[in-house]
Every structure is written in C-alpha cells, then in structure tokens.
Amino acid sequence: MHLQLDQARNGPLNWRDDVAVSAADPGTEGPLVLGCVDCRGSLTFVGPDFLLEARLRYRQRLYCGRCLTAYEEEVELPLAFVVTGRAEESPPAEDGTGAHELEPEDLSTLVAAEGEIDLAVLVREQVELNVPMKPICDPGCRGLCPQCGANREQEACTCGSEQFDPRWSGLEAIRERLGGDLNQDNRPRTTRQPT
Ligand SMILES: [Zn+2]
Ligand SMILES: [Zn+2]
C-alpha cells in the first residue's frame, strides 16, 4: 500500500493495511514475523509537512540468547514520523532512484520525494529495527547450565545445589505452609453426633 500525501491535504487520512514481512529471524532459519503485520494509522497535514502516526501489531518469533530456545511474543509498536514531501534543496535526483528514500540519519523524518509513502518498506524497516539486540524469552530465564549445558528452563540438572535460585525460597516456604493448612482442611471429618 502506498500512502499519497495529497490525499491528506484536506483532512486526516486514516488507513489500515496488512503487511507481509518476509524478513528472517537474524542468525537463524525461519520467519521473524508470524502472519502479517496489522498496521493502522493516520496521515495528517500540518503544513508544510505531514505527520504520520501508526500502530503496528504482530507476532514475532525470536531465539532466547540465554536458553537458545525459540519463543514467540506479541508486539505492539507505536510509530510517529514527520513526512516531508519537499525534496531537499538539491536539484532533483539524477541517479534514477524513483522511490522515496528513508533518511537513515534521522529516523523521525521521512522524505517522500515522490509524494507517497511505501508502507511495505517502512513497516519492514521498523520491524527489523525493533528486534532486540539480546532477545530473552523471560526476564527470569535461567539459561543453560554452564557445566552440563542443560536447559535449566526445561530440566533440572544436578550440577550443584548452589544453582538453586534463592528468589524461590520464599515461595517454597509459603507453599509448605499452605500445603500444611490444606492437608488439615482435607482431613476426613469423622465427627460423630452424640446420641
Ligand atoms: Zn530463555
Ligand atoms: Zn548442569
């Protein structure tokens, strides 16, 4: 889908599109984005430039840098750009690049030299930029055991009890207490009515 700047001159242009992003998960096989990227937003003329606001929703598949396991997560990515339809002061490009160019120096400004925005290009770029440098499946991921290589999220290894996460000790105590109470409550009641 291409957004025409002219369509927003007389009032905000609201748009919605599903964009397929075929980018691969960096360093691994398989797609980064599962399904399409649901994009919706608005293009508003704020003279002389335009304001492009968008919200991307999609599901992405990444590999945890600690336990090396694939995981999926929902992403909601708000975006905002100033879009300028004015070519730079320089004369019209003579290198034959007809499509609009994204300025890597300033990501908050888009140059739509041809008067339109190619959503597919924009969305793909933003999705790739949003991939974390070090994906983690869960902030508490314990990763691989440095001694035996076991994935400690999936199996317990016996490489030493000092690997027991002390953060769970409080929970353990609570569970024992609860368990004791429950046992008492569940005890069969054999009270007999006095006759
Ligand atoms: Zn992990
Ligand atoms: Zn181990």
Tell me: pLDDT of 13 over 70: yes
Tell me: pLDDT of 184 over 50: no
Residue 21, token pair as written in the block = 């992003």
Domain count along the chain: 1
187 Cβ contact list (under 8 Å, min separation 6): none
- In a domain, residue 151? The reply is no
- Separation CA 117–CA 41 (nearest Å): 13
Q: pLDDT tens digits for 75-105?
A: 999 999 999 987 655 444 444 444 444 444 5
- Of residues 44 and 178, more confidence is placed in 44
- In a domain, residue 93? The reply is no
Percent with pLDDT over 90 in the chain: 49
- Of residues 125 and 193, more confidence is placed in 125
Tell me: pLDDT of 158 over 80: yes
- Separation CA 151–CA 141 (nearest Å): 10
- In a domain, residue 167? The reply is no
Tell me: pLDDT of 110 over 60: yes
User: Mean pLDDT across the stretch 136-154?
Assistant: 91
Residue 150, token pair as written in the block = 């076991």
Average pLDDT, the chain: 80
* Residue 141, CB-side half-sphere exposure with 13 Å CA sphere: 19
- In a domain, residue 139? The reply is no
Confidence of residue 168 (pLDDT cuts 50, 70, 90): low
SS3 letters across 2-66:
EEEHHHHCCCCEEEEEEECCCCECCCCCCECEEEEEEEEEEEEECCCCEEEEEEEEEEEEEECCC
In degrees and rounded to multiples of 5, residue 2 shows phi and psi of -115, 130
| Proximal ligand: closest to the CA of 162 | 2
- In a domain, residue 178? The reply is no
- 78 and 147 Cβ atoms separated by less than 8 Å: no
Cα(191) to centroid(ligand 2), Å: 51
- In a domain, residue 116? The reply is yes
Confidence at residue 99, expressed as pLDDT on a 0 to 100 scale: 45
Q: pLDDT tens digits for 59-79?
A: 999 999 999 999 999 999 999
Cα(67) to centroid(ligand 2), Å: 13
SS3 136: coil
- Of residues 133 and 174, more confidence is placed in 133
Confidence at residue 102, expressed as pLDDT on a 0 to 100 scale: 46
- In a domain, residue 23? The reply is yes
- In a domain, residue 70? The reply is yes
Cα(168) to centroid(ligand 2), Å: 18
Residue 20 structural domain? 2-88+99-129
